[in-house]
Chains A and B, each alone.
Chain A
Amino acid sequence: MAQSIQETQEELIEEFGLFDDWADKYEYLIDLGKKLPNLSEVFKTEENVIKGCQSRVWLHAEKQGDQIVFEADSEAVIVKGMISMLIRVLSHHTAEEIIQADLYFIDQIGMSQHLAQTRSNGLLSMVKQMKNYALAFSAK
């Protein structure tokens, strides 16, 4: 059994707790962004684009057994770092778990500004879209 959404969030909070300076945090985030595998070009379609972003962001979801698997990409590496964390937290969970998930880690690691409307980086829409996929899959 893989770890729970809450356990992964706790793990991320602990990782970010090691940094006391914003620059270190962002360097780590950038590194996460660079390490996230690029989304295959076949999934970089118009339908998979998340609207409302300054950079283009794509999200692809698939059902494997009773789990949902997310893959995503962005042109901007900081957004990609955020995406990488969202995937680590939410991917490979059931629709029910994803729908119920309260993503408190974002606030706790001091990145809640990235979820603000003004950022127009689409992370808020990204989270919504991930939950929408979960809803759609659970309805099937």
Chain B
Amino acid sequence: MTLDIHKIRADFPVLDQQVNGSSLIYFDNAATTQKPKSVIDALSHYYASDNANIHRGLHALAERATNAYELTRTKIKEFINAPSSDQIILTAGTTGSINLVAQTFGRANFSKGDKILISNLEHHSNIVPWQMIAEEKGAIIEVIPVDERGVLDLAAFRNLLDASVKLVAVNHVSNAIGTINPIAEMIQLAHAHGAKVMIDGAQSIAHLDIDVQALDIDFFAFSAHKLFGPTGVGVLYGKRELLESMPPYQGGGEMIKEVSFEGTTYNELPYKFEAGTPNIADVIALSAAIDYVNALSKEALFTQELALLAYATEQLSTIPGLRIIGTAPDKIAVISFVIDGIHPQDLGVLLDKFGIAIRTGHHCVQPLMKRFGLPGTCRASFAFYNTLEEIDLFVKALRRSINMLQ
């Protein structure tokens, strides 16, 4: 199936606008993806027709809202091939999911001297929650290094693995440079040493096929907003025996079975981890995002994105003084680059004047920037609704900006 990009673009209202007098070119998809009209409509439909608190009322609206909410959980389960929908915990985002695991699994399982392995590619969201619990428990964080290309050093990873490693927390795909990490192999290695593995799937969920069972993932986290869905919703998948053995996270309504002043018993999965009224509307709208991707065929989307990556890499390589940061053989459609003698921020400002949205700065991965000896990079990140023509315009605007700055 080949994509009709023209038709697809018409599904994303935000793309059809002028910015600073030019047609918007949105190349900041790693930060957040745009939303198809069906997602926007699902949000307003929910508030206009079904709004009610879920899991509580017996009335018709409560039932409709609850069903729609739980339907999303089922769709997520299918989307990542989880064994059952009660292993899908709804959170506020990837960050929320990682903190949940740190504060429950970590609290119950880390003790003094235990090791948590993370990598040099991690987003601050997959560093700081571990630092916080490690400090509290006296656990130690060790870092899997990356090479010049931005590829994880698997030999070093093997050397770091021993019986004291309780958890390996790595991203599936690097947000800053696009590297796809060999998580299948890493999970096998970790499991062979008795360590559990948490995968930060924020950047892979929209760009790779995810099968949590085939990959034997212990914990998997992602954000709806990077999957063409709304902000404020995230997912945590976990293996049943792990989720069941973990203490609850936040206390409140929904997560309890019975409450008395003498003591409280907790609800079953997934509700044990979902205290309080959740973000009902946005969860329901995530359904529409999943339907949208499924209807187009993931394979066709990924093929389009790889074509964009190949073309952009080739075109950018013709610019004198431009250096691509992150040259792993396996990458998603993310290109980080720097230009000799030019600060990334200046390029970001000028490209915006051409109506082009890219990201500049440290991309919430300061340790990785330090590894490359850079204060930051420019990052163009693509989605299937981007076109080769947009890349041509981007490269043209980039050349013009460089001329202005040199």
- Residue pair A55, B404 in contact (C-beta under 8 Å): no
Q: Given A26-B404, A30-B405, A55-B375, does the pair A77, B353 have CB atoms closer than 8 Å?
A: no
With known contacts A26-B350, A78-B345, A56–B20 Cβ distance under 8 A: no
Beta-carbon contact of B345 and A79 below 8 Å: yes
Q: Are A56 and B375 in contact (CB under 8 A)?
A: yes
Is the CB of B343 closer than 8 A to any CB of chain A?
Answer: yes
Residues 238-280 of chain B, each 1 if its beta carbon lies under 8 Å from chain A, else 0 = 0000000000000000000000000000000000000000000
A66 lies within 8 A of chain B by Cβ: no
**In the complex, are the beta carbons of B404 and A76 less than 8 A apart?**
no
Contact partners of B346 in chain A: CB under 8 A: 30, 76-79
> Does B349 belong to the interface (CB within 8 Å)?
yes
1/0 contact string of A77-92 vs chain B (CB within 8 Å): 1110000000000000
For chain A, residues 2 to 28, give those with C-beta under 8 angstroms from any C-beta of chain B.
22-23, 26-27
Chain B at the A interface: mostly helix, strand, loop or mixed?
A: helix
Would you call B343 and A75 a contact (CB within 8 A)?
A: yes
| A76 proximity list for chain B (CB < 8 A) | 343, 345-346
Docked pose: A27 CA to B401 CA in angstroms: 10
Cβ distance A30 to chain B, nearest Cβ, rounded Å? 6
> B129 near A: Cβ within 8 Å?
no
Complex contact A22–B353 (CB within 8 A): yes
Taken together as a complex, chains A and B put the C-alpha atoms of A79 and B343 apart, in Å, by: 10
A31 to B325, CA, bound (A): 29
Out of A22, A23, A75, A120, which one reaches B375, CB within 8 Å? A75
Query: How far does the alpha carbon of A77 sit from the alpha carbon of B406 in the complex, in Å?
Result: 10
Least CB distance, B205 to chain A, in whole angstroms:
26
Chain B hits for A56, CB < 8 A: 375
The residues of A that contact B344 with a CB separation of less than 8 Å are 54
Residue B29 is within 8 A (CB to CB) of chain A in the complex: no
Q: Is the CB of A22 within 8 A of B20?
A: yes
A-contacting residues, B345-364, CB 8 Å: 345-346, 348-350, 353, 360-361
A1 to chain B, nearest CB (A): 36
CA distance A120 to B360 in the complex (A): 11
Kindly supply a per-residue 1/0 record for chain A positions 101-140, scoring 1 wherever the CB is within 8 Å of any chain B CB and 0 otherwise.
0000000000000000000110000000000000000000
Contacts of B405 in A (CB 8 A): 30, 77
The residue of chain A having its C-beta at the shortest distance from the C-beta of B348 within the complex is: A54
The answer on a CB contact under 8 Å between A54 and B360 is yes
Residues of A near B360 (CB, < 8 A) are 54
B36 within 8 A of A: no
Smallest CB–CB gap between A26 and chain B, Å?
A: 6
Per-residue interface assignment for chain A, residues 47 to 58, with 1 indicating a CB less than 8 Å from any chain B CB and 0 otherwise: 000000011100
Give bound CA distance, A55 to B360, whole Å: 10
Q: Cβ of B349: which chain A residues have Cβ within 8 Å of it?
A: 26, 78
Q: B404 touching A23 by the CB < 8 A rule?
A: yes
Is B376 an interface residue, CB under 8 A from the partner?
A: yes
How many angstroms between the C-alpha atoms of A76 and B353 in the bound complex? 16
Q: Which of A23, A27, A55 contacts B345 (CB 8 A)?
A: A55
Residues of the A chain whose Cβ atoms lie less than 8 Å from the Cβ of B361: 54, 120
Kindly list chain A residues whose C-beta atoms are within 8 Å of the C-beta of B20: 22
Measured CB to CB, the closest approach of chain A to B179, in angstroms, equals: 23
CA separation between A78 and B344, bound complex, in Å?
11
A79 to B360, CA, bound (A): 14
Asked if B404 contacts A27 (CB within 8 A), the reply is yes
Report how far A55 CA is from B361 CA in the complex, Å. Answer: 8
CA distance A55 to B378 in the complex (A): 13
Q: What's the Cα separation between A121 and B352 when bound, in Å?
A: 14
Output the least CB separation between A54 and chain B (Å).
5
A22 to B21, CA, bound (A): 10
B339, chain A: closest CB distance, angstroms: 12
Can you offer 12 A-B residue contacts whose CB atoms are under 8 A? A23-B404, A26-B350, A26-B353, A30-B346, A30-B405, A54-B345, A54-B376, A76-B346, A77-B405, A78-B345, A78-B350, A79-B346
**Which residues in B have some Cβ–Cβ distance to A below 8 Å?**
20, 343-346, 348-350, 353, 360-361, 375-376, 400, 404-405
The 5 A-B residue pairs whose C-beta atoms are closest, nearest first, are: A76-B343, A76-B345, A54-B345, A55-B345, A54-B361
8 extra interface residue pairs, beta carbon distance < 8 Å, beyond A54-B348, A79-B345? A22-B20, A26-B353, A30-B346, A30-B404, A75-B345, A78-B345, A78-B349, A120-B361
